[in-house]
Chain A
Amino acid sequence: DAGVIQSPRHEVTEMGQEVTLRCKPISGHDYLFWYRQTMMRGLELLIYFNNNVPIDDSGMPEDRFSAKMPNASFSTLKIQPSEPRDSAVYFCASSLGPGGPPYGYTFGSGTRLTVV
Chain B
Amino acid sequence: QKEVEQNSGPLSVPEGAIASLNCTYSDRGSQSFFWYRQYSGKSPELIMSIYSNGDKEDGRFTAQLNKASQYVSLLIRDSQPSDSATYLCAVNSRSQGAQKLVFGQGTRLTINP
Contacts and interface: CB of A to CB of B under 8 A. Distances in A.
A10 B5 CA distance: 30
A67 B3 CA distance: 25
Interface residues of A, number: 23
A30 to B, nearest CB: 13
Interface string B12-42: 0000000000000000000110101000001
Contacts of B34: 104
B106 A98 contact: no
Contacts of A103: 32
A91 B103 CA distance: 13
A100 B103 contact: no
A101 B98 contact: no
Given A56-B98, A91-B43, A100 B88 contact: no
Contact of A48 (B36, B93, B100, B103): B100
Contact of B100 (A98, A102, A109): A98
A91 B104 CA distance: 16
B105 interface: yes
Contacts of B45: 107
B99 A99 contact: yes
Interface of A: 33, 35, 42-43, 45, 48, 55-56, 58, 91, 98-110
